[in-house]
Chain A
Amino acid sequence: MSQNLAAFLYLVSGVLFIMALRGLSHPTTSRQGNVYGMVGMAIAIGTTLLLATPSFGGLVLIVVALAIGGGAGAYIARTIPMTAMPQLVAGFHSLVGLAAVMVAAAALYDPVSFGIGMIGEIHGQALIEMALGAAIGAITFTGSIIAYLKLDGRMSGKPILLPYRHWINIGLLVAIVLFMVGLTLSESHFDFWLIVVLALALGVLLIVPIGGADMPVVVSMLNSYSGWAAAGIGFTLGNLALIITGALVGSSGAILSYIMCKGMNRSFVSVILGGFGGEAAAAGADDGVQLSVKQGSAEDAAFLMQNAQKVIIVPGYGMAVAQAQHALRELADTLKEYGVEVKYAIHPVAGRMPGHMNVLLAEANVPYDEVFELEDINGEFAQADVAYVIGANDVTNPAARDDKSSPIYGMPILDVDKARTCLFVKRSLGSGYAGIDNTLFYKDGTMMLLGDAKKMTDDIVKAMKH
């Protein structure tokens, strides 16, 4: 196959990837889009095999690797529960990161096969691109592993704050840049591995101080990094598909990070610097006055809801933890039998990754046209009889709207306090992830339903069917 034809086919696969993302503008076109993506990938792999014409031994190795990895990937994709999606995505990011490091290393040890010069005479520019790809890949690898551990609950979601951590990070970054210069001048393998090791350490240090509630930003950011790493390798190989894809993924992750930051009214820099959440407990309404809270039972909640005309359900991370999405759907179905109008309201940062709640509701067969984003539904709370808050907390805290001294002041919230009654399902009266007391608990219209989200929802359904 000629180089020109190959370049053209890589371009086609890049365009198919654009179409794959384009399809996601609506659920009905999204499945088609995913098929475009698969075709694009098949074209890229096929073109590479035809262009490179591997030896028989090489072909066997390729088939073995594809079988091992593909089998594992397919198994994971089939069996993973939807609630574990944030961990899964973080885990997948780490694989792309490590793969970028490995490909860069392979190119360094055998530049001839990659068409970037002879050993000892690799073009300086290719060395820079390779080092950048490897460094970003290494940061993505360890950073995603830490994110995975935090999301999977194997590591505390609390920020871990090292003394002088900003200085350590800056020092590491400077050292990486210096060794990149060294690598470009000397093509020393030692310099390359030093860059990788330093970048691996930097990845850990960057993510460790970031708290659990900021994970949506971290996951999006690592998504972006994996794209930039791929683009770096794409420049080394001069491969159009990789360059286009790297740019797409990089900008996609960056946009998602921006949307998540806006959903929390925090600057990207303050999220990255870390330390938010966990330390600021007892801030705010701690003036010694014992405020009274109205508690209710499942029967009270059932009575209120079945006599309502309109109920808006506000799910949050707690729903995912309790696996309450199916029970919730049953509750909505029962309410509809009583002629109640049911809608769902999703805050942009609900859950642990962008769109997390939407996937869980879709899994429980909730139709997507009953699920609304914050801006589209916030005006409707005033006409709703009941707002059923299940597993969300900070995103409903009226202090973000009314109390200028609150640390979350200015964050857009769902106006559940404007509904006639707010039913708030919660395990205990503790504060939310941001460590801030929720003033909603003490309002007259609020009834606290203390208990596990799933059990409480089941109990309400039982009470209504009596």
Chain B
Amino acid sequence: MASDLMNSALEQLDQAVQSVKVAAEQAPDAVAMAAHGVSGGAIDPFVFRLAIFVLSIFVGYYVVWSVTPALHTPLMAVTNAISSVIVVGALLAVGISASGYATGFGFVALVLVSVNIFGGFLVTSRMLAMYKKKDR
């Protein structure tokens, strides 16, 4: 009974996530085109970024509430690992920067986040590998 309910709830959530995904993939283009038509391209790209930001907060809200409390520690470890996607900024600074300062800062940032990327994902997978079901 309870597991049926749970399953159907999970299914619904899955569908919701799917539709959010589809919407998220289409939204920037669709919104951009519509805005382009209305404003003649005068809307600042900042507005689109803000829109994506706000929508992502909502996606995060629903996705994180569905995380089981037993996995809250791996959740923290993995959110930590993915927030190291700030690596894209560090790569730009190291890779193409002409200023010595900027390269230096970027290099430090790159070392720090690569600790996080490798450490975060590996420690998460180490933790997740330990969660086992009862042997019957």
Contacts and interface: CB of A to CB of B under 8 A. Distances in A.
Tell me if chain B binds chain A.
Answer: yes
A27 interface: yes
Interface stretch (A82-90, A265-273, A418-426): A82-90
Interface string B1-28: 0000000001001000100110011001
A45 B87 contact: yes
Given A15-B24, A93-B80, A103-B109, A114 B134 contact: no
Interface in B14-67: 17, 20-21, 24-25, 28, 45-46, 49, 52-54, 56-57, 59-61, 63-67
A156 interface: no
A113 B60 contact: no
A68 interface: yes
Interface of A (DSSP majority class): helix
Contact of B91 (A45, A68, A251, A259): A45
A255 interface: yes
A125 interface: yes
B115 A250 contact: no
A150 interface: no
B49 A238 contact: yes
B52 A240 contact: yes
A252 B75 contact: yes
Contact of B86 (A22, A80, A233, A371): A233
Interface string A208-241: 0000000000011001001100110111111111
Contacts of B108: 98-99, 102
Contacts of A362: 127, 130-132
A351 B30 CA distance: 47
Given A48-B91, A247-B60, A248-B79, A34 B106 contact: no
B36 to A, nearest CB: 14
Given A54-B94, A69-B111, A113 B71 contact: no
B6 to A, nearest CB: 10
A356 B70 CA distance: 8
Interface stretch (A36-44, A399-407, A441-449, A450-458): A36-44
A445 B122 CA distance: 45
Nearest to A231: B53
Q: How many residues of B sit at the interface, in one of the four size bands?
A: 35 or more
Given A27-B70, A61-B94, A66 B84 contact: no
Contacts of A242: 85-86, 88-89
Contacts of A234: 49, 53, 86
Contacts of A365: 130, 132
Contacts of B71: 24, 27, 30, 355, 358
Contact of B64 (A71, A107, A255): A255
A52 B92 contact: yes
A25 B68 contact: yes
Given A71-B118, A99-B109, A358-B72, 12 more contacts: A10-B88, A15-B21, A25-B66, A44-B85, A74-B122, A95-B115, A106-B93, A110-B98, A243-B49, A249-B60, A353-B73, A367-B132
18 contacts: A10-B88, A15-B25, A20-B82, A21-B75, A24-B67, A30-B71, A45-B88, A70-B115, A73-B118, A98-B109, A99-B86, A102-B112, A220-B76, A233-B86, A242-B88, A259-B72, A353-B73, A355-B74
